[in-house]
Chains A and B, each alone.
Chain A
Amino acid sequence: MSKSLSSFFKGRRALLPLGVLALSSSLLATPVMAETLNIGVMGELASFDTSQVSGGVWESQVLMDVFEGLLKKSPDGELLPGMATSWDVSDDGKTYTFHMREGAKWSDGEPVTAEDFVFGWQHLLAPENASKYAYMLYPIKGAEAVNTGKADADTLGAESLDDGKTLKVTLNHPTPYFPQLLTHYTAYPVPKHLVDKYGKDWVKLDNIAVNGAFKPVEWVSQSRISVKKNPSYYDADDISLDGVNYYTTEDRNAGISRFRAGEFDVLRDYPSSRYQWLTENLPDATHMSPMLGSYYYVLNNREGRPTADKRVREALNLAVRRNVLSEQIMAGSFKTSTGMVPPGTNHYEAQHMNLVSDDMSARMAKAKALLKEAGYGPDHPLHLTLRYNTSDEHKKIAIAVAAMWKPLGIDVEMANAEATVHYQTIQQGDFDVARAGWIADYNDAENFLTLLHSGVGNNYGAYSSKQYDDLMDQAAQTQDLDAREKLLEKAENVALDDYAFIPMLTYVTRNLVNPEIEGWADNVGDDHPSRWVHFTD
């Protein structure tokens, strides 16, 4: 199969216009190939203005190819110098001094300076720009006050020094994941000179300038965004591709057909139900690897709910057969999980909930005893509402979990709604058990554990533990990475011992990748900058 697959791909590389071809072949006697990477992405970019991005994973694929932050990522997801070539951190961990790359230019030839970063961040935080992801920069001193309109933009803890050659950033707390944050699109620079000139229209393709490896040249809404190599990029000589096309591909099965027809080199997701078929038929192209994402069930800890009783929460957890969900229901396309923070997270050891035993009959016996103790039994069966957002995968899992709880005499009422309604309903607390998922914004345990902190909006189950909150607050003030890790792990164990939620599965990345490309590697962030990609001959 791989052989016929490669022959499919042969026709993909577009030849340059015939005239050029004839000329170059007569001169060099070898045809010149224009190497374009075709990627099927699951949705459309909301905007090239990073303050207007809506948060889809497909958006970062395009943005990381056209912009570059102070740091960038290697194919494996390791941090590398980007627009800053080096940086110093103060002893208290709160001040970062970045030394900007000399000779870095926007695609219109203007230099990229520290000023563009300060401006970009102020632009993101400006209340009138209403950026959904502005909170990503809240670790920077004054950011929250600027974003909420309580302080002027110039009070932000980011300063351009030495004529824009140095950027000094002051943080609220030592934030070990700050360098990670700098690779996120919210921390990209914005060309001040163009915003001054064109206002909101600076992102129109006729006006835009970028500082990344590729420059956008065409955008057919709902169909394709095309970018071409940016000759002003400092590493342009090392970029192998001439351009990249990102095709909006909402129908994942149709994406598989287009991949098989050789129209795509990379498909950024495929339905989990096709995993088995793909591993058998396209073994060299099918990629699946662990990702920083947790699939869990929220338990409503609010007073008056049956799930406010710890014994009920423990019983529910004991009865879930995670390996059945992973292997049988999801056909191996999710990994089992018994904690909130997924394995592979930086400076963190994955923690596990105490589920008594591997033996299911022992677990079920314990669960039954716990429910009985909590006052539930044949005369007074436990009735639960399970909510999930509409999707085949979520439905399959919900049905399976309800069936696992049935032997305990639990009567489950299932309710599904489209995502918008689902999250609004569970934020209001109208549920007992609800499906939720979290994909990391940055590679740090804090990003997951904050979901269980009292008063946090995304803590849908309203779990509240003073001990947990204290440990988390203490960790936020701790600079030493090992000491911080211990505090965070301790906090997670507090929540796990409270059976605060039902950990179930860890997300995986699912990609189809043309075996003839190199410089593309699986990584926990599922970040794949096209600048490293090249075709093998």
Chain B
Amino acid sequence: MLIYTLKRLLQAIPTLLIVITISFFLMRVAPGGPFDGERQLPPEIEANLEAAYHLDEPLPMQYLRYMGNLLHGDFGPSFKYKDFSVTELIMQGFPVSLEIGGLAILLALIIGLPLGIAAAIKRNSTVDYLVMGTALTGIAVPNFVLAPIFALVFGVLLAWLPAGGWNGGALPNLVLPVVALSIQQIAYIARMMRASMIEVLGSHFIRTARAKGLNEGEVIFRHAIRTALLPVMSYLGPAIAGIITGSVVIEQIFGIPGIGRYFVQGALNRDYTLVMGTVVFYGVLIVLMNLIVDLLYSALDPQIRYDD
């Protein structure tokens, strides 16, 4: 298992290298630069700016410089947020995104899994239709519709919770963004769990278990759920990586200082270093999450072993 883990980590290096290289050049191919805007700058000032950020060097040279700095763990200064380095921005924003995203996933699992299981057991009953109908609505209503409605209803009209702001992560400030972020996940997880559960309940080993005379509770909790969780697990890897790296919609609507918006704003501002920093960070997270999921697989399913 240890060898397997090391092997996977080594394999991740070329993957990340390719991701970084492609992103670096794609970013530069995009028209416009970090200093283009509504006001054209005098050529001398533009030259000063380019020299300050080494943008006047040939592209391959800039690439080597970037990779060299990266090896030292230096993501460089942000082009836009001058008082912070990219590392500082990510380190300040990531714990916030991790907290909001982690809680949202937790909430989604706590609610989504039992709903999916219940719907599968009571297949084609009122419970099933109710759960699946609600889940479909959850998937269909996007965040950017849901979040402002939450802020309006619970923040303004009922005034139960703050309409926005982070406030150092105080509980009342967490509720709305976490719930808004989790609703879609609850829906996905419930649907996935239901489908997977139905498949498992119809399989041979469950029939055998029932034939052995096990009661229904034991069949479901000891045998069916464990197996049915596998597809949900493989969905969770990338989903967690996606959610804990922030959601630009939720962050902007609730004014939360996460890192989600850096992806979008960095790209729009052509803040090359910030975009690269977030891409590398996201890439590493995806690799790690997938690895963790694969390792958990073997814990859930004895047929999967990583002995080599």
Residues of A within 8 A of B (CB): 8, 44, 46-49, 52, 54-55, 127-132, 134-135, 144, 147-149, 203-204, 219-224, 247-251, 253-254, 257-258, 260-261, 263, 418-421, 423-425, 427, 436-438, 457-458
Contact = CB atoms under 8 A, between A and B. Distances in A.
A127 B80 CA distance: 18
A436 B37 CA distance: 11
Interface string B65-105: 00000000000000011111000110011000000000000
Interface of B: 31-33, 35-45, 48-49, 51-53, 80-84, 88-89, 92-93, 147-148, 151-152, 155-156, 159, 162-166, 251-258, 261, 268-270
B30 to A, nearest CB: 8
A269 B48 CA distance: 33
A47 B93 contact: no
B253 A254 contact: yes
Nearest to A253: B148
B92 A423 contact: no
A253 B156 CA distance: 13
A8 to B, nearest CB: 8
B253 to A, nearest CB: 4
Given A249-B255, A424-B31, A263 B45 contact: no
Contacts of A424: 31-32, 36
A423 B147 CA distance: 33
Q: By CB atoms of chain A within 10 A, which of B39, B166, B256 has the most?
A: B39
20 contacts: A46-B80, A47-B82, A47-B83, A55-B37, A127-B44, A129-B52, A134-B45, A135-B41, A135-B45, A144-B44, A147-B44, A220-B92, A221-B257, A223-B257, A254-B252, A258-B151, A258-B164, A261-B156, A261-B162, A419-B38
A148 B80 contact: no
A204 B88 CA distance: 12
A contact patch SS: mixed
Contacts of A221: 81, 84, 88-89, 92-93, 257
A96 to B, nearest CB: 24
Contacts of A257: 148, 151-152, 155-156, 163-164
A308 B257 CA distance: 49
A271 to B, nearest CB: 12
A263 B173 CA distance: 12
A348 B297 CA distance: 75
Contact of A420 (B32, B45, B84, B165): B32
A132 B38 contact: no
Q: By CB atoms of chain B within 10 A, which of A254, A427, A437 has the most?
A: A254
Given A263-B164, A419-B38, 20 more contacts: A46-B83, A47-B83, A130-B52, A132-B45, A132-B49, A135-B45, A147-B45, A219-B83, A220-B92, A222-B258, A222-B261, A223-B255, A248-B255, A254-B164, A258-B163, A420-B31, A420-B32, A420-B36, A420-B269, A458-B39
Q: By CB atoms of chain A within 10 A, which of B148, B162, B253 has the most?
A: B253
Contacts of B257: 220-224
A395 B269 CA distance: 21
Q: By CB atoms of chain B within 10 A, which of A247, A248, A418, A427 has the most?
A: A418
A149 B45 CA distance: 10
A392 to B, nearest CB: 14
Contact of B83 (A128, A203, A249, A423): A203
A353 B301 CA distance: 79
A213 B224 CA distance: 67
A147 B48 contact: yes
Nearest to A203: B83
B42 A46 contact: no
B82 A49 contact: yes
Contacts of A44: 81
A263 B163 contact: yes
A49 B82 CA distance: 9
A457 B41 contact: yes
B39 A55 contact: yes
B49 A130 contact: yes
A420 B33 contact: yes
A254 B32 CA distance: 30
Contacts of A251: 252-253
Contacts of B148: 253-254, 257
A128 B53 CA distance: 10
A247 B92 CA distance: 16
Contacts of A254: 147-148, 151, 163-164, 252-255
Contacts of A203: 83
Nearest to A460: B40
Contacts of B84: 221
Contact of A130 (B32, B48, B268): B48
A438 B49 CA distance: 23
Nearest to A418: B268
Contacts of B270: 420
A251 B249 CA distance: 9
A203 B77 CA distance: 15
A453 B172 CA distance: 56
A266 to B, nearest CB: 15
A163 B236 CA distance: 68
Contacts of A149: 44, 48
Nearest to B53: A130
A148 B45 CA distance: 7
Contacts of A130: 45, 48-49, 51-53
Q: By CB atoms of chain B within 10 A, which of A425, A438, A457 has the most?
A: A457
A421 B163 contact: no
B40 to A, nearest CB: 4
B169 to A, nearest CB: 11
A423 B32 CA distance: 9
Contacts of A204: 83
A379 to B, nearest CB: 37
B27 to A, nearest CB: 12
B45 A423 contact: no
Q: By CB atoms of chain A within 10 A, which of B33, B53, B82, B152 has the most?
A: B82
B72 to A, nearest CB: 19
Contacts of A438: 38
Contacts of A421: 31-32
A127 B42 contact: no
B171 to A, nearest CB: 16
A424 to B, nearest CB: 5
B156 A135 contact: no
Question: What are the 9 tightest A-B residue pairs by CB atom distance, in nearest-first order?
Answer: A420-B32, A223-B257, A457-B40, A47-B82, A130-B52, A261-B163, A148-B44, A52-B82, A130-B49
Q: By CB atoms of chain A within 10 A, which of B53, B83, B152, B256 has the most?
A: B83
Contact of B81 (A8, A46, A258, A261): A46
A423 B40 contact: yes
B155 to A, nearest CB: 5
A501 to B, nearest CB: 16
A420 B156 CA distance: 36
Contacts of B251: 222
Q: By CB atoms of chain A within 10 A, which of B31, B36, B45, B53 has the most?
A: B45
A277 B151 CA distance: 18
B159 to A, nearest CB: 7
A52 B53 CA distance: 13
A203 B81 CA distance: 13
A172 B270 CA distance: 36
Contacts of B253: 251, 254
